[in-house]
């Protein structure tokens, strides 16, 4: 067995390399022949590195998420047999800890109250058990790469991420909202092809780590990519990325000298200035937002909401992908005032709090052992990039693009342990079986996502029903069918049969995920307006408020119901509570002649006529 670190020969770091006489057949011809015989797993790893940063398809229901979720199914199918083979290979501790992490997640999912979320994750996030398997598979695939294959992976990552960065800069410069509104977020911060500004910044950190050693060799060739990454990070408004960039410049000084670090620092400053000049969201740049502490405080406040869930489910947690379920009932007012009263954190924005809540002490312990065992022997700038993304994961959410790439890079930065012998027939059968199943599942998923997108465009029942049949039983597709049948009812002159179908699908959505306050608010609003059932609406608003005590939608709905029955005291009570978590916009200045007038009072109009 030979253990070789990335980019090294089997000698100690810093020792002079003694080159012996050339072997027969050495030379360009032999290296070219080796490239032609590149193992499929190495090509697959490079394909992951290239495709995940740019997998953005507007004809699917979630342009930045759907295709990536399907790709991760294939990553899980390919990587799981590789991981299991590494359990009995050299340096097995990390692989065994990864398997223990998956076992804890599987047991937690089995005992979870919502198996759909536990296995598949929430729609448009997908951080359930399958996501955990993809992370372990990506790491195992990276660990299987030969040292001479790592430059191909690095090149694929750099190309894919720079394409993403270029799209982000183009969207901020000329505007590409006609193509997709997902290229920038609601506040105008750049997202690129990542779907979220913080994911764009995390990808930039990974690319920057891989560019630094190339910058040391040719500053002129790599100056523009470094500046572009910095500009995109500035436009993303991700403050923690600035800290990681500064740390990377310090590390560059240690590894490549002060000259390279100075060049890197100058290019980063120029890139940040370029991002500020381009514009983007008002007060939304990374350097501008770094002076704001409001949203920084939201992270610890959100983490503290998980205390009761961790105490009540200490061993296995509440199930993968269910942080929102575990914490929404203790949503703090301080977070509601900055993030929105009905905006709940579906991810802990901290990797360790997330898995402590969702997979308990067993899952968290296995994750920590896995990371420590994987990081300790790793070397090189792939490790720096992986650690940079993981540092961002201490304050930002996981995603189907950044987290798998971080684990892939972490695996590729570890020493390669090779052992003699061939894989058995059973291993090859298991590998091909997992791959075929993953490709089939991913294909079905993509067809379902296409149908869901078509249903969103024309609100027709056929594509919506097809999407519901093909996709996992998420509440999302049932809610889509509810919207479709509401539209059909309005189009058919308030057809009561269509309205009944619409309400039935809303109830079905709640049966799939009864812990989502947004679904309860939606059903309550339907019953209060179209359904003309105020008693049911009041019960549903109250349930939504129990699941999210800061829900302004529920409070405002209860205020309207109280006004309809002329209960002015309750109407005033609920409106005041709603104003506490969602202050009304400032009123325009009052003309001087009206300054002494009494403020308007709540009045009772009675229920609206049928």
pLDDT the model gives residue 141: 96
For the record, the structure tokens of 10 come out as 């089997």
Residues in CB range of 189: below 8 A, 6 or more apart: 197, 235, 236, 237, 280, 281, 284
- Can you spell out the DSSP letters for 536-548? HHHHHHHHHHHH-
Pairing of strands 416-418, 2-4: antiparallel
pLDDT tens-digit profile of 128-181?
999 999 999 999 999 999 999 999 999 999 999 999 999 999 999 988 888 888
Q: Which residues are CB-contacts of 109 (< 8 A; sequence separation ≥ 6)?
A: 115, 118, 119, 128, 129, 319, 320
Tell me how far apart the alpha carbons of residues 457 and 556 are, in angstroms, rounded to a whole number: 30
Could you read off the pLDDT of 237-259 as tens digits, one per residue? Answer: 999 999 999 999 999 999 999 99
CA pseudo-torsion sign 450, 453, 457, 458: positive
Query: Cα–Cα distance between 92 and 301 in angstroms, integer?
Result: 38
Q: What is the pLDDT of residue 348?
A: 95
Burial of 417 (C-beta count, 10 Å sphere; 0-12/13-18/19+): middle
Question: Which two three-digit tokens encode residue 429?
Answer: 């059968």
What pLDDT score was predicted for residue 416? 78
Residues ≥6 apart with Cβ < 8 Å to 218: none
Position 293 scores a pLDDT of 60
Report yes or no: 445 and 57 within 8 Å, Cβ to Cβ: no
Q: What is the structure's pLDDT at 426?
A: 79
In this prediction the pTM is: 0.90
What pLDDT score was predicted for residue 289? 74
Query: What whole-number distance in Å separates Cα of residue 490 and Cα of residue 546?
Result: 31
Contacts of residue 580, Cβ cutoff 8 Å, sequence gap at least 6? 333
In the predicted model, residues of the chain with pLDDT beneath 70 are 1-36, 280-283, 291-296, 417-423, 585-610
Q: b or e along 197-213 (b: 16 or more beta carbons within 10 Å of the residue's beta carbon)?
A: bbbbbbbbbbbbbbbbb
What's the token pair of residue 450? 């296409």
pLDDT for res 75: 98
């Amino acid at each position: 067995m030979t253990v070789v670190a990335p980019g090294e020969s089997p000698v100690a770091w810093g020792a002079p390399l003694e080159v012996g006489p050339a072997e027969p057949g050495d030379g360009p011809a032999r290296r070219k022949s080796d490239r032609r015989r590149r193992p499929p797993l190495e090509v697959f790893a490079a394909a992951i590195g290239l495709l995940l940063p740019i997998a953005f398809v507007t004809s699917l229901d979630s342009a930045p998420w759907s295709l990536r979720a399907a790709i991760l199914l294939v990553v899980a199918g390919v990587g799981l047999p590789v991981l299991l083979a590494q359990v009995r290979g050299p340096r097995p501790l990390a692989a065994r800890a990864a398997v223990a992490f998956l076992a804890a997640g599987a047991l937690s999912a089995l005992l979870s109250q919502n198996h759909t979320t536990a296995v598949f994750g929430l729609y448009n996030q997908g951080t359930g058990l399958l996501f955990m398997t993809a992370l372990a598979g990506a790491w195992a695939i990276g660990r299987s790469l030969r040292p001479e294959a790592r430059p191909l992976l690095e090149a694929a990552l750099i190309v894919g991420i720079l394409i993403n960065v270029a799209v982000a800069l183009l969207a901020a410069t000329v505007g590409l909202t006609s193509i997709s509104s997902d290229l920038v977020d609601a506040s105008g911060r750049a997202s690129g092809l990542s779907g979220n500004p913080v994911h764009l910044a995390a990808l930039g950190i990974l690319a920057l780590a891989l560019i630094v050693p190339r910058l040391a060799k040719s500053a002129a060739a790599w100056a523009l990519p470094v500046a572009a990454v910095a500009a995109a990070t500035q436009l993303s408004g991700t403050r923690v990325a600035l800290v990681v960039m500064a740390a990377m410049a310090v590390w560059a000084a240690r590894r490549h000298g002060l000259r390279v670090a100075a060049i890197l620092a100058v290019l980063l400053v120029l890139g940040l200035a370029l991002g500020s000049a381009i514009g983007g969201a008002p007060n939304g740049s990374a350097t501008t937002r770094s002076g704001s502490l409001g949203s920084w405080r939201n992270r610890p406040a959100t983490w503290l909401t998980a205390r009761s869930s961790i105490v009540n489910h200490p061993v296995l947690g509440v199930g993968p992908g269910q942080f929102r379920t575990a914490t929404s009932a203790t949503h703090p007012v301080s977070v509601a005032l900055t993030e929105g009263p009905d905006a709940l954190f579906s991810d802990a924005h901290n990797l360790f709090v997330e898995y402590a809540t969702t997979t308990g002490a067993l899952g968290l312990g296995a994750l920590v052992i896995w990371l420590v065992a994987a990081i300790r022997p790793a070397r090189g700038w792939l490790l720096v990039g992986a650690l940079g993304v993981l540092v961002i994961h201490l304050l930002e959410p996981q995603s189907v693009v950044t987290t798998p790439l971080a684990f892939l890079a972490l695996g590729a930065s570890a020493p390669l342990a090779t052992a003699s012998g061939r894989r058995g027939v059973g291993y090859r059968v298991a590998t091909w079986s997992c791959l075929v199943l993953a490709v089939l599942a991913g294909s079905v998923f993509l067809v379902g996502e296409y149908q869901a997108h078509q249903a969103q465009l024309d609100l027709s029942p056929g594509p919506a029903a097809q999407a519901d049949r093909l996709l996992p039983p998420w509440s999302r597709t049932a809610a889509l069918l509810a919207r479709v049948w509401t539209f059909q009812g309005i189009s058919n002159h308030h057809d009561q049969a269509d309205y009944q179908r619409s309400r039935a699908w809303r109830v079905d959505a709640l049966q799939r995920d009864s812990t989502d306050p947004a679904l309860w608010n939606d059903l309550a609003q339907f019953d209060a307006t179209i359904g003309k059932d105020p008693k049911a609406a009041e019960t549903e608003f109250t349930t939504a408020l129990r699941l999210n005590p800061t829900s302004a939608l529920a409070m405002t709905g209860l205020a309207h119901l109280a006004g309809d029955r002329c209960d002015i005291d309750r109407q005033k009570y609920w409106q005041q509570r709603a104003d506490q978590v969602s202050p009304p916009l400032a009123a325009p200045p009052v003309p001087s002649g009206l300054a002494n007038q009494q403020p308007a009072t709540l009045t009772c109009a009675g229920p609206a006529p049928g």
